[in-house]
């Protein structure tokens, strides 16, 4: 179903699976303590391009109390693969499917959907913040239970997969005792008394088939809590059913994009070419969560050709892989296949910066690449070593220049506060960001995004021996170690933002297709300058220049 569609006659006889993708607004899933100081706000609203476009000119643009902006059109909702893929998977198997894209916005509509008749409610935990996700899930379940006291609620996704692994470490007593009491705030499947309003968790890594089996059992009036690959709260712990075979093949599941034209014709299309990452960065809690699986080029091209038939004029693709360039050979094979197929798509993805050279950059551009995201994380050699990041920071800067020369946009991410972080290492990161191409003479747009270091129970840095080595205390967003604590890291992010001279910090928004690189850079860099002036001099915020740029089509 499309993001903005109403219920139609095709589902008036009932819905087998009501699927909820986001439990909160996307911009609410970050760390507000970190991002509010470095993002321009108008009232309580982040000054995204979408938001500014919807402001009325004049005095009302600065007085927003009488306006309700809690609608889809005021937020950047990128299309994500989760509901598209699962919808395609379950409907191919004879089940009806309806999506609520965001519970935070659709609290009223979900009540109307429930009146039609729903077999089960499936909650995705894939698009939750890194921490306190369990609390968000429980709050959402509590709200839904008011209107659906007897409809089974099934929870699956990334947080469930992480929770299974955390639970295993906890049972093996491989988690630092000082954080055990906090685990249930962040993870599910730790305390059944907190999770007792949930009927079952899908605990297999490929849960699509398990969800289908549950829905078919419910539809036929059969017991479903004994099928493989689920966990059930019992009131005295959790009952885990046997591990069953995964009736799933990544290569064979090619999305039929003809069924999703309404939701993708004006949006970037998410396509998966593989899952997993071979690297083991010390801060990452995804490493080992999923085994590396890559689709054959034949399978990928089949899906992309399917897409170009469904949307012959709109072919913007986002490859959702954790790392599209698992090896330099893989990215060369990938880009050459796209060029040979002459699909003429435009695409972006996550990559490793060390996979880039002149040849790869040229191939990427020729194959339609518009942008790449890179996890740089720090510009300090020792911090990178502590992170097990394995990149050459000097070569990384050269590769940004190569990508700019061919006109490929970049987003670089950085983590502030990792063990060993000091004011000197923070200064090096700010200087590095300032050296990334920016301004009116660049051939592409280059932005950066800063994360505050967070401690996951699953990340290598959280293992007992590493905690001892760095005197690391705490979990989630609250921590301390030998060189810094989480409050100091928050302050350091603001310092980096103020010190950076050039590239703009990323906002969750969509850049209009008709904007030139010059206009884009001018707008996003000017917006950062306005926020910096406010932070440094406490000047009143004047956004008239930004509003003028939005209305001036000649810039």
Evaluate if residue 348 carries a pLDDT over 70.
yes
| Average pLDDT of the segment spanning 544-553 | 82
What is the model's pLDDT at position 27? Answer: 60
Q: Are 18 and 98 in contact (CB under 8 A)?
A: yes
Examine residue 518 and state whether it is found in any structural domain, yes or no. no
419 in the same domain as 311: yes
Examine residue 426 and state whether it is found in any structural domain, yes or no. yes
Q: Which residue has the higher pLDDT, 58 or 547?
A: 547
170 in the same domain as 130: yes
Q: Are strands 274-275 and 293-294 parallel, antiparallel or unpaired?
A: antiparallel
Report the percentage of the chain scoring pLDDT > 70.
91
Give 399's pLDDT tier (boundaries 50, 70, 90): very high
CA distance readout (Å), 254 to 246, 250, 491: 17, 8, 46
Q: Are 263 and 311 in contact (CB under 8 A)?
A: no
Examine residue 327 and state whether it is found in any structural domain, yes or no. yes
Give per-residue pLDDT as tens, 210-236.
999 999 999 999 999 999 999 999 989
Examine residue 3 and state whether it is found in any structural domain, yes or no. no
Examine residue 499 and state whether it is found in any structural domain, yes or no. yes
What is the model's pLDDT at position 531? Answer: 96
293 in the same domain as 223: no
148 in the same domain as 17: yes
Q: Could you tell me the residue range of the domain that residue 287 belongs to?
A: 257-510
CATH number at residue 20: 3.40.50.2300
Query: CB neighbours of 501 closer than 8 A, spacing ≥ 6?
Result: 434
232 in the same domain as 263: no
Q: Average per-residue pLDDT in the chain? A: 90
Alpha carbons 368 and 147: distance in angstroms, whole number: 47
pTM, rounded to two decimals: 0.91
When divided into structural domains, the chain yields a total of 2
Evaluate if residue 76 carries a pLDDT over 90.
no
Q: Are strands 478-480 and 473-475 parallel, antiparallel or unpaired?
A: antiparallel
Give per-residue pLDDT as tens, 421-451.
999 999 999 999 999 999 999 999 999 999 9
Among 183, 210, 240, where does a domain finish? 240
447 in the same domain as 368: yes
162 in the same domain as 112: yes
Examine residue 146 and state whether it is found in any structural domain, yes or no. yes
313 in the same domain as 216: no
Q: Are 192 and 236 in contact (CB under 8 A)?
A: yes
Examine residue 290 and state whether it is found in any structural domain, yes or no. yes
Evaluate if residue 365 carries a pLDDT over 60.
yes
365 in the same domain as 326: yes
Examine residue 555 and state whether it is found in any structural domain, yes or no. no
| Average pLDDT of the segment spanning 279-306 | 90
Alpha carbons 196 and 390: distance in angstroms, whole number: 43
136 in the same domain as 101: yes
438 in the same domain as 403: yes
281 in the same domain as 193: no
CATH number at residue 429: 3.20.20.70
């Amino acid at each position: 179903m499309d993001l903005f569609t109403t219920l139609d006659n095709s589902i008036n006889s009932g819905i087998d699976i009501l699927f909820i993708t986001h439990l909160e607004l996307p911009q609410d899933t970050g760390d507000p303590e970190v991002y509010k100081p470095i993002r321009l706000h108008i009232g309580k609203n982040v000054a995204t391009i979408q938001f500014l476009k919807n402001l009325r000119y004049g005095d009302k643009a600065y007085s927003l109390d009488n306006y309700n902006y809690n609608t889809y059109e005021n937020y950047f909702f990128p299309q994500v693969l989760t509901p598209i893929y699962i919808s395609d998977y379950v409907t191919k198997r004879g089940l009806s499917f309806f999506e609520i894209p965001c519970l935070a916005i659709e609290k009223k509509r979900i009540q109307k959907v429930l009146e039609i008749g729903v077999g089960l409610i499936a909650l995705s935990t894939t698009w939750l913040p890194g921490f306190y996700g369990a609390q968000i899930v429980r709050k959402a379940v509590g709200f839904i239970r008011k209107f659906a006291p007897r409809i089974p609620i099934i929870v699956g996704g990334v947080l469930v997969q992480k929770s299974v692994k955390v639970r295993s470490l906890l049972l093996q007593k491989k988690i630092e005792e000082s954080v055990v009491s906090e685990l249930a705030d962040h993870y599910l499947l730790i305390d059944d008394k907190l999770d007792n309003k949930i009927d079952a968790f899908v605990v297999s890594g490929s849960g699509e088939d398990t969800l289908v089996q549950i829905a078919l059992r419910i539809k036929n009036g059969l017991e479903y809590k004994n099928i493989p690959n689920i966990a059930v709260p019992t009131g005295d712990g959790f009952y885990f059913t046997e591990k069953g075979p995964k009736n799933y093949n990544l290569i064979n599941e090619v999305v039929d994009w003809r069924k999703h034209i309404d939701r993708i014709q004006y949006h970037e299309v998410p396509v998966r070419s593989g899952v997993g990452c071979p690297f083991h960065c010390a801060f990452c809690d995804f490493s080992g969560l999923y085994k590396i699986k890559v689709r054959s080029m034949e399978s990928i091209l089949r899906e992309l050709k399917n897409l170009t038939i469904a949307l012959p004029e709109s072919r913007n693709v986002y490859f959702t892989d954790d790392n599209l360039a698992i090896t330099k050979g893989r990215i060369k094979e990938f880009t050459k296949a796209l060029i040979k197929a002459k699909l003429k798509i435009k695409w972006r993805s996550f990559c490793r910066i060390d996979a880039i050279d002149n040849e790869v950059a040229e191939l990427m551009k020729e194959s339609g690449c518009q942008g790449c995201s890179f996890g740089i994380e720090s510009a300090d050699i020792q911090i990178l070593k502590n992170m097990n990041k394995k990149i050459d920071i000097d070569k990384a800067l050269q590769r940004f220049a190569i990508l700019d020369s061919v006109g490929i946009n970049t987003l670089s991410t950085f983590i502030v506060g990792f063990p060993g972080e000091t004011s000197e290492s923070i200064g090096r990161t700010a200087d590095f960001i300032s050296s990334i191409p920016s301004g009116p003479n660049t051939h592409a747009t280059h932005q950066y995004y800063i994360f505050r270091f967070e401690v996951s129970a699953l990340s290598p840095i959280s293992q007992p021996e590493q905690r001892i080595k760095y005197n690391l205390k705490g979990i989630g967003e609250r921590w301390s170690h030998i060189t810094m604590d989480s409050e100091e890291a928050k302050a350091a992010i603001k310092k980096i933002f103020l010190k950076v001279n050039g590239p703009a910090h990323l906002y969750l928004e969509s850049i209009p297709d008709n904007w030139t690189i010059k206009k884009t850079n001018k707008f996003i860099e000017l917006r950062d300058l306005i926020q910096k002036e406010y932070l440094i001099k406490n000047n009143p915020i004047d956004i008239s220049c930004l509003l003028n740029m939005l209305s001036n089509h000649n810039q």
